[in-house]
Amino acid sequence: MIRQSSTADLSSQFALDTKGMGELRQSARAGSPDALKTAATQFEAMFVNMMLKSMREATPQDGPLDSQQTKMFTTMLDQQTSQNIAKKGVGLADMLIRQLSQGGTPAFPGGAELQSGVDSSARLQKSIEAVGGSAVASGKGAALPHVRAFQDKLGAHADEASRATGIPAKFMLGQAALESGWGRREIKQRDGSTSHNLFGIKAGPDWKGKVVTATTTEYVNGKAQTRVERFRAYDSYADSFKDYAKLITGNPRYEKVLASAGDASKFAQGLQRAGYATDPNYAAKLTSIIKRTLA
């Protein structure tokens, strides 16, 4: 428990849970410089942790080596990392303390602006409560650098495919992000160059173009299995989007997907029902990316 005369922090805790939030509120109420500094530093740690969480949620984690245990340890590592970063400081705690000491009105991402006319401890307490329900904690990831880079790189191709299919560009960007891990897990050629295959489209017997072989995870009766499959390869990302548009509009099994292209959830569920992917959580993952990350 944080006392008014103590400068102890929560660094020994691996989780910023409701108990930690309560301790921050109590520290903010104390009002002493040491207590305010401690609470402001912990506020900074919470902010960093929320950003790490948002980045994790924006990146699919369904590889053959991923499991509930690895996700749990990753979460614990992120929480401890946020504490370590806050100890060194990223400037938020210093800015907060400086503004409070000057009687200013701090403002935070997500519109969590503090009200003036109250003392510094009350304002810090209000900021702690505000960030707990702010947009930062909601997992919105549109401002994340790798998301912006992905959109900037492929947005024009998605817009062109949207005009051809009637599917919103961000729906296709979301699917490309899910299939390629935001471009970090693209299917590679033997020489390490990209195949430009953003949608994980396999090379069936009717495919006459380039082919690349890669290891993939397929689900059989709900269980993940590692397999080596043949995938289509393209000369450019533009060709990848064009081929995806041709597949979706030309295959009768995707008719209902096109019919529900105005709704992210129905679009994702339609793809899963049509057999686009074997992952039982494919629709939920795609919906989350579209609604939370690309919103």
Residue pair 58/182 in contact by the 8 Å Cβ criterion? yes
Look up 218 and say whether it is catalytic: yes
In angstroms, the CA 265 to CA 242 distance is: 23
Compute φ and ψ for 231, nearest 5 degrees. Answer: -120, 155
Task: Look up residue 43 and give its two tokens.
Answer: 């506020």
Cβ-Cβ contacts under 8 Å for 237 (sequence gap 6 or more): 153, 154, 157, 196, 198
Alpha-carbon gap, residue 176 to 220, rounded angstroms: 23
Question: Tell me, what DSSP letter sits at residue 137?
Answer: G
Catalytic residue among 218, 235, 255, 263: 218
C-alpha to C-alpha distance for 77 and 85, rounded to whole angstroms: 12
3-state DSSP assignment of residue 231:
strand
**Which residue is catalytic, options 9, 44, 179, 243?**
243
5: helix, strand or coil = coil
Active site residues: 218, 243
